[in-house]
């Protein structure tokens, strides 16, 4: 009967309950929106970083630690094949790619500037550059003398897709080498500094330019980025067992900035959660205090019949808990509808420095719903604790006298 | 209730004693006596009506003997045990097991049905659901409200509410029932019905009834009548009105 009575009491003053539920539900919706945005932003950042670096990379320790001299970190074609073989025996691999980078000069009749050249496998499942090409075409699968220039670099050189430019750099043996390539496209990049220096080339061209058949790193794409740590450890064990002197690094280890991004979003979410918890706490506290005080005579009656203070305290606390549960359930249902509708509309925005509008999505997941549920339940329970305790301590005679 | 027609074997045996009972309040730095040196005894089967004007100390007296308030001086002894020696928990236990209360404003719990209101004291006694249901059905039958068991208090008339309040007070088979102005919010006919019911239950269950009222019509139901004035008790003598059938029609 205690449960039944508490539930009925929740709906006793419907207007007041509606106000409390409205505060809880609005708080819930705000929190779900914030967490949904944060989760989506973090996931997009993860995917974006992993689309450049792969989920796991394999290379010489000297390359990762920046302690190599000259080109002694290069991986031979035989070792590359052995690593691919080892990786392909593990679960979750969606593709393997490899890279060879260089620094050199790029120029035409108008002038020259520095270029950071990335030799990549065109049309790879691991590195998807197609989506950042904003003019012209991406590298073709069988392409050779092609480059996709950073948009800022193309502007600096005054070239457009279809033009030709010259590339010059040192070979692995220290000699000078140069070549002419076609500009196939222009790409945008999150960091404008890099966009004014970056050029993507087919790796076969870069190998000829540097006069080597080696690669500097092997990139492995995984079905689930969250498996990266486990996969990297498993592959490392295989490499060690096979006597291959290379090491593995996950996308997270390779992108130290991700940790600070995640910390920022965690602080942002935490502040939002505290804000909503405080809002719910004080709103519900006020409503429950009035609501409980109005029932002083009932408390006096129940106490007069021999009800212990603990039972009175528990029954009022139960009302607070029911209010929180009902608010959380309503909040969860409404926020799911809100998020799905928002995502269906398909809002977009263009981030600073970017050329392509991006979709704003709010992620709907277990964590996004669970955290607001915990927040509203805890704050509602806390806010009902004090009035419940105070009401359970009221003197019977005073309680019976109240109107 | 299993004792509907039980004969009151213990009639006359002392159940409750109040000795030199005093209750004072501090008002603006001075001491106000709500009750002063009151001695009182109630025996099994008693039906005591205490009357007096407003502010004379009737409710204070009732609060003290029902163990919901503590005296400033003196003591209340229930079946040989002084309530002064009991802590909060033990007082609650005493009320739960031995005392039934009826209030002027009925004090029913609005969110509970008539049956649930009557059942509430049994929940504190940890009886089985079937035993509770049996007792609720019996007591509602006794107060004539079995058909209205599912109704909420706001769906009942004043008289019906007070009957439910009486059922609630009696369902634990207490030895003492205290009623504070039980007819104050009822019309005279309904008031008479309620008082008749209380007298019948007093006789059938051998329960001590102490009724506080300022309604002169209630005094005719008393075996004993006591007048309270300025916090002092004056025994008004015994009445011989045991035959409830001669009372105003129920």
Same domain assignment for residues A70 and A8 = no
d(CA A70, CA A67): 10
Residue B19 lies in a domain: no
- For residue B239, what pLDDT is reported? 52
Domain extent at residue B198:
45-68+88-241
Same domain assignment for residues A277 and A215 = no
Residue A55 lies in a domain: no
Number of domains in chain B: 1
- For residue A237, what pLDDT is reported? 95
d(CA A31, CA A29): 5
Residue A163 lies in a domain: yes
Digit-coded pLDDT (tens) for B147-169: 999 999 999 998 899 889 988 98
Q: Which three-class secondary structure state does DSSP give residue A205?
A: helix
Residues of chain A with pLDDT under 50: none
Out of A298, A303, A309, whose CB is closest to B109? A298
Q: Which residues of A touch B69 (CB under 8 A)?
A: 396-397
Domain extent at residue A375:
2-48+259-401
Same domain assignment for residues A115 and A207 = yes
Instruction: Please say whether the beta carbons of A83 and A218 come within 8 A.
Output: yes
- For residue B6, what pLDDT is reported? 45
Same domain assignment for residues A278 and A226 = no
Same domain assignment for residues A311 and A229 = no
- For residue B11, what pLDDT is reported? 61
- For residue A84, what pLDDT is reported? 93
Instruction: Please say whether the beta carbons of A146 and A193 come within 8 A.
Output: no
Digit-coded pLDDT (tens) for A354-391: 556 778 888 888 888 999 999 999 999 999 999 999 98
* Residue contact A304–B89, C-beta within 8 A: no
* Chain B residue nearest residue A7, CA to CA: B111
Same domain assignment for residues A159 and A280 = no
d(CA A218, CA B52): 100
Testing the interface with A: which of B35, B100, B106, B109 to mutate, by most A Cβ within 10 A? B109
- For residue A352, what pLDDT is reported? 58
Residue A251 lies in a domain: no
Out of B66, B69, B107, whose CB is closest to A301? B107
* Residue contact A5–B63, C-beta within 8 A: no
Q: Does B55 touch chain A (CB under 8 A)?
A: no
Residue A146 lies in a domain: yes
Q: Which residue has the tokens 């010259």?
A: A166
Same domain assignment for residues A78 and A41 = no
Alpha carbon separation from A248 to A63, A79, A245, A286, B75 (Å, rounded):
11, 14, 10, 57, 85
CATH of the domain at B92: 3.40.50.300
Q: Which residues of B touch A307 (CB under 8 A)?
A: 92, 96, 124
Residue B231 lies in a domain: yes
Query: DSSP letter string over A114-148?
Result: EEEEEEE-TT-SS---GGGEEEE----TT--SEEE
* Residue contact A306–B68, C-beta within 8 A: no
Query: DSSP letter string over A222-268?
Result: ES-GGGHHHHHHHHHHHHHHHT---EEEEHHHH-THHHHHHHHHHHH
Q: Which residues of B touch A300 (CB under 8 A)?
A: 107
Chain A: give the shortest CA distance to residue B121, in Å: 6
Residue B75 lies in a domain: no
Residue B36 lies in a domain: no
Residue B22 lies in a domain: no
d(CA A228, CA A250): 6
Residue B9, C-beta contacts closer than 8 angstroms, at least 6 positions apart: B206
Same domain assignment for residues A225 and A318 = no
Residue B79 lies in a domain: no
Residue A346 lies in a domain: yes
Same domain assignment for residues A182 and A280 = no
Testing the interface with B: which of A306, A319, A322, A396 to mutate, by most B Cβ within 10 A? A306
Q: Which three-class secondary structure state does DSSP give residue B218?
A: helix
Same domain assignment for residues A180 and A102 = yes
Number of domains in chain A: 2
- For residue B244, what pLDDT is reported? 34
Residues of chain B with pLDDT under 50: 1-7, 240-250
Residue B201 lies in a domain: yes
Token pair in block for residue A293: 């005080």
User: Up-side HSE of residue A205: CA atoms within 13 Å toward CB?
Assistant: 27
Digit-coded pLDDT (tens) for B27-51: 888 888 999 999 999 888 889 999 8
Residue B227 lies in a domain: yes
Same domain assignment for residues A179 and A116 = yes
Chain A: give the shortest CA distance to residue B62, in Å: 11
Alpha carbon separation from B230 to A26, B33, B64, B213 (Å, rounded):
58, 8, 16, 15
Instruction: Please say whether the beta carbons of A225 and A50 come within 8 A.
Output: yes
φ, ψ for residue B68, nearest 5 deg: -100, -5
- For residue A216, what pLDDT is reported? 94
Tell me the torsion sign for CA atoms B188, B191, B195, B201. positive
Residue A344 lies in a domain: yes
Residue A34 lies in a domain: yes
- For residue B203, what pLDDT is reported? 85
Residue A124 lies in a domain: yes
- For residue A194, what pLDDT is reported? 82
Same domain assignment for residues A238 and A359 = no
């Amino acid at each position: 009967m205690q449960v039944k009575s508490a539930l009925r009491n929740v709906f006793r003053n419907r207007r007041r309950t509606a106000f409390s539920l409205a505060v809880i539900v609005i708080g819930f919706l705000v929190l779900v929106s914030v967490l949904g945005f944060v989760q989506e932003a973090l996931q997009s950042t993860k995917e974006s970083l992993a689309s450049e670096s792969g989920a796991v990379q394999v290379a010489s320790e000297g390359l990762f630690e920046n302690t190599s001299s000259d080109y002694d970190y290069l991986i031979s074609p035989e070792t590359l094949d052995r690593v691919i073989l080892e990786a392909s025996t593990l679960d979750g691999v969606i593709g393997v790619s490899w890279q060879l980078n260089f620094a050199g000069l790029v120029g035409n009749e108008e002038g020259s500037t520095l270029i950071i050249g990335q030799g990549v496998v065109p049309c790879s499942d691991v590195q998807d550059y197609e989506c950042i090409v904003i003019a012209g075409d991406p590298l073709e699968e069988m392409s050779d003398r092609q480059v996709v220039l950073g948009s800022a670099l193309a502007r600096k050189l005054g070239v457009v897709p279809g033009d030709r430019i010259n590339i010059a750099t040192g070979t692995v043996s220290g000699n000078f080498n140069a070549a002419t390539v076609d500009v196939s496209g222009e790409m945008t990049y999150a960091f404008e500094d890099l966009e004014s220096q970056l050029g993507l080339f087919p790796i076969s061209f870069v190998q000829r330019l540097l006069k080597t058949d080696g690669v500097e790193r092997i990139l492995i794409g995984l079905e689930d980025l969250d498996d990266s740590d486990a996969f990297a450890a498993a592959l490392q064990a295989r490499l060690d067992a096979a006597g291959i002197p290379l090491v593995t690094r996950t996308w997270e280890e390779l992108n130290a900035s991700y940790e600070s991004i995640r910390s920022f979003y965690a602080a942002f979410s935490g502040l939002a959660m505290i804000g909503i918890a405080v809002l719910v706490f004080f709103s519900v506290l006020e409503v429950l205090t009035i609501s409980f005080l109005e029932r002083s005579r009932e408390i006096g009656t129940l106490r007069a019949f021999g009800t212990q203070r603990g039972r009175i305290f528990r029954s009022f606390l139960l009302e607070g808990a029911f209010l929180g549960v009902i608010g959380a359930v309503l909040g969860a249902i409404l926020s799911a509808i809100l998020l799905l509708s928002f995502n269906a509309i398909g809002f977009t925005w263009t981030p600073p420095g970017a050329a392509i509008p991006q979709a704003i999505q709010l992620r709907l997941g277990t964590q996004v719903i669970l955290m607001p549920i915990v927040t509203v339940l805890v704050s509602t329970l806390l806010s009902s604790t004090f009035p419940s305790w105070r009401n359970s301590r009221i003197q019977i005679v005073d309680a019976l006298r109240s109107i | 209730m299993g004792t509907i027609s039980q004969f009151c074997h213990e009639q006359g045996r002392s159940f409750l004693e109040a000795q030199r009972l005093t209750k004072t309040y501090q008002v603006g730095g001075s001491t106000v006596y709500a009750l002063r040196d009151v001695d009182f005894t109630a025996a099994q089967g008693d039906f005591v009506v205490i009357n007096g004007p407003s502010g004379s100390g009737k409710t204070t007296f009732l609060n003290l003997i029902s163990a919901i308030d503590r005296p400033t001086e003196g003591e209340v002894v229930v079946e040989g045990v002084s309530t002064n020696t009991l802590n909060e928990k033990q007082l609650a236990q005493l009320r739960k097991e031995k005392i039934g209360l009826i209030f002027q404003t009925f004090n029913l719990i609005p969110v509970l049905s008539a049956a649930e209101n009557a059942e509430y004291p049994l929940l504190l006694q940890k009886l089985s659901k079937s035993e509770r249901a049996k007792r609720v059905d019996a007591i509602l039958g006794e107060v004539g409200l079995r058909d209205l068991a599912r109704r909420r208090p706001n769906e009942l008339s004043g008289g019906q509410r007070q009957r439910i309040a009486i059922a609630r007070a009696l369902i634990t088979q207490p030895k003492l029932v205290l009623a504070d102005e039980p007819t104050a919010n009822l019309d005279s006919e309904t008031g008479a019905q309620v008082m008749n019911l209380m007298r019948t239950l007093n006789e059938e269950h051998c329960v001590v009834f102490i009724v506080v009222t300022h309604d002169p019509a209630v005094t005719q139901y008393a075996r004993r009548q006591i007048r309270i004035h300025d916090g002092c008790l004056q025994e008004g003598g015994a009445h011989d009105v045991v035959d409830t059938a001669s009372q105003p029609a129920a």
